[in-house]
Structure 1
């Protein structure tokens, strides 16, 4: 990528067709708020399946009418328990239809939800409770052998104890709520049908935890209007229709899982929920249910490919990919060859929504498989700025990606983050990229991960792709550390394919990369240090930098 930094390219002509701008796919005005979206779907066809849960005995279809009835019942019960405008409800559930019911019901009362990842530890849960100050915690009962209740008790400690609503999940019996009381009372929702009040669509409806790469995560809140507008734009630009079935394997508590499900609902499609990612079960669901769309990192699809045993995935039309393991290009080629799947790189974050941009299908491969794309809503503006001089840069010049529009975070729960916006009102993404033309951009990496090698700015992914292309390499990651002279050098780490022993990896890089991009050293490790977040499994670059610093003086 350094060539782009040193030799700016002109905007490409006629390379990218703008995403179509489509209204809500029903006649008349768009939905007023989130409950109105679900209510209108139910009114049009109450017997149509909208969600497929995974129960103890297999798939459990949920109709639009049933999901709407459950939403109304829960809203009436919450209203009777005093949950209303401005209240936060912490939803600690896996990918069950209950999680969607809680989102719609709470939004209908003017409140907002903050999703908690079922993988969160005690400190992370304590942080969310302190920042969000939820009026209620919704807790999954006896899920996957996880002691969520124990974590909640430890997180509450001697502090104020929230009331707990206990949810059993699809196809399971309601538990005794008394066993889940952490000091504020506990109950099992059993609401009766009632109307859902009209909410303020401009009020916060949902908040997402950020990656927390620089400390504990922030809680980025978005309005119901923002959620709706973005869902409609995603559905239109991706091309999701009522006939489609969308895999929702990423946690709904995270922005990528959430926005994927909302796009499916906005199109009237079916959400195929996976509360636990088991590759064999997901492949069986994809084949049996005819999944058409998948959003997920290359880590997710890598696990699917490794488990694939000729299951019929011919219905799979589109994969929106985020590159976490450096395997996107290889996996996109596999999916295209085996199933005719079209792959598009995507872009998003907790503060900006997921699927803010993706590449249109007329963009040629392999460029279409990279991160970035064309923004899905013409109201979303993107620019590239020199992070040092703050100069706004033209097409082809690398800098920080900055955004403005209805997708940008409205506020942070429990904290002010004054540095999130520039002085002229643009959001700092902290990401390095380049503008291709108006509204289309290529994402390279986090600015802190970019490498300055021999005066050139290099995206480590360029080296990682070359290493991962070696037949004996399973996974590759490259980090930069200062040498004795103070100059940054690249250090590569690879995990070998099972039963293989990679050798000559620096020579392999030299055959396909410019000399200054060849890593100083490449080490084979048994496993990468990883962290499992709400959007996928990511390699911990900070840990690799520690390893690289220790190994720098050893012979390659």
Structure 2
């Protein structure tokens, strides 16, 4: 089973992707894969080589993935938002032989960033949606893909794709997976999510990230269509969802929240399923909105660059109090889970197969008996359900008790004046102190919010202080917008030092 099998087994007449007004059939994409495979062979690409694909959510990003993997080579996706240092890190770790780069996308000077990022790795460049490659040569040649007949390749099962990790515990790693693992996971996700022929999955998250990538692969495996959004504009995305009758959405509460905030009555009655990660504490509010307006079933999900996205999710018959939390049930019987001192450890075909440019990383990431250490604090319940709590490094120890900061965040977010909430821990004289930060659209102060928390939370869970700020410090990753907890910890310490 290869990654390419996801495409070759489909009905040639089915629509595999939509971008704007363009509808790409499976036959069209296969023709593109054949043509590109021939180009890549002639460019000297082969088994074990790396290709950096620096494209937005264009159909070409899928074409490149299938063609590169068919030759036994692998793709490292590069987010179009990456700055020079992030691109340099990818080049130095992945050492791509070739970079596929978008021409004239959204006014971004991608080739300028590439030139500034180059050190000792000088790749060739393939220019996508351009006609002249002259200005793209960074020292190893540049070319524009052809449009000709070609032949598919079917190499051995090799590394096919790599994703940049969040870097929350140091420099980001590049987690790579075998093509067979991608295909197997895509089929498992499609079955559990319920994607079938005629369904349309919104692909608004970047395909360069694991959540965007696995969503697209699940749609293809189930015979559905990828509704590709190269630029996220909430009003335009809502219009596309209504026009194309979108059925499935995966995203964080930041992305889906922007859709909820922008909704003006578009007909989204086709929207059956929402898989959502909680980054900003809005999951419950958004799930209620989608269920009330469209009958959408919302589930929390679990995944990462190293174990694939959508590795666990809740079935629709779970009660909402559980179903809207992060975690879920494993999507495949071939994946095993255990909790050791609260940390989730996984084993199965979904687990990272290699780290590009860092062969010693596996030794740090796996136990002696072969389980992958996720670094996530979870509760595995008697029925096998995995309830995500938080990152191991984010858990609070308050008065000797382990406390999930999300419990306090959710209470703060229930206040009528609060738009978003984040709680971090800082060391105090008697252990950790919970410090809250909120944004608000009505006048409110920290004392009132502490009193609000005290109405329902145990005394030791009431935050030591709550600060009202204009906006949260955030970072835009490949899987969504996340609040920068480290920055908030710095602010909390600064506020404490400045206090009389």
User: What's the TM-score, normalizing by structure 1?
Assistant: 0.88
Q: Which aligned pairs between 1:380-529 and structure 2 lie closer than 5 A?
A: 380-386=335-341, 399-416=342-359, 417=361, 418-437=363-382, 439-483=384-428, 485-497=429-441, 500-503=442-445, 504-529=448-473
* Structure with more relative contact order (C-alpha pairs < 8 Å, separation 6 or more): 1
Structure 2 residue 61 is the aligned partner of structure 1 residue 118: no
- Considering only aligned residues, what root-mean-square deviation do their CA atoms show, in Å? 1.2
**Which of 35, 46, 52 pairs up with 2:4?**
35
1:401 and 1:431 in contact (8 A); partners too: yes
Cα distance in 1 for partners of 2:241, 2:347 equals: 37
Q: Which aligned pairs between 1:293-304 and structure 2 lie closer than 5 A?
A: 293-304=248-259
1:141 and 1:175 in contact (8 A); partners too: no
Moved over 4 A (4+): 553-556
Q: Which residue of 1 aligns with 2:142?
A: 186
Q: Secondary structure of 2:358's partner?
A: coil
Q: Secondary structure of 1:481's partner?
A: strand
Cα distance in 2 for partners of 1:449, 1:152 equals: 35
Structure 2 residue 75 is the aligned partner of structure 1 residue 106: no
1:76 and 1:191 in contact (8 A); partners too: no
Cα distance in 2 for partners of 1:160, 1:279 equals: 38
Q: Which aligned pairs between 1:143-542 and structure 2 lie closer than 5 A?
A: 143-157=105-119, 159-168=120-129, 174-201=130-157, 203-386=158-341, 399-416=342-359, 417=361, 418-437=363-382, 439-483=384-428, 485-497=429-441, 500-503=442-445, 504-542=448-486
**Which of 6, 9, 23 pairs up with 1:61?**
23
Cα distance in 2 for partners of 1:275, 1:329 equals: 28
Question: What's the offset of the Cα at 1:541?
Answer: 0.2
Q: Which runs of 5+ in 2 are unaligned?
A: none
2:95 and 2:121 in contact (8 A); partners too: no
Q: Which runs of 5+ in 1 are unaligned?
A: 1-31, 169-173, 387-398
Cα distance in 1 for partners of 2:210, 2:411 equals: 30
Q: Secondary structure of 1:72's partner?
A: helix
Question: What's the offset of the Cα at 1:47?
Answer: 2.4
Cα distance in 1 for partners of 2:90, 2:497 equals: 42
Cα distance in 1 for partners of 2:147, 2:38 equals: 7
Structure 2 residue 31 is the aligned partner of structure 1 residue 80: no
User: What's the TM-score, normalizing by structure 2?
Assistant: 0.97
Question: What's the offset of the Cα at 1:33?
Answer: 1.2
Question: What's the offset of the Cα at 1:511?
Answer: 1.2
Q: Deviations over 1:434-457 (max 9, x none)?
A: 101364210010000000001110
Cα distance in 1 for partners of 2:195, 2:218 equals: 8
Cα distance in 2 for partners of 1:100, 1:228 equals: 14
Q: Secondary structure of 1:34's partner?
A: coil
1:402 and 1:429 in contact (8 A); partners too: yes
Cα distance in 2 for partners of 1:553, 1:68 equals: 62
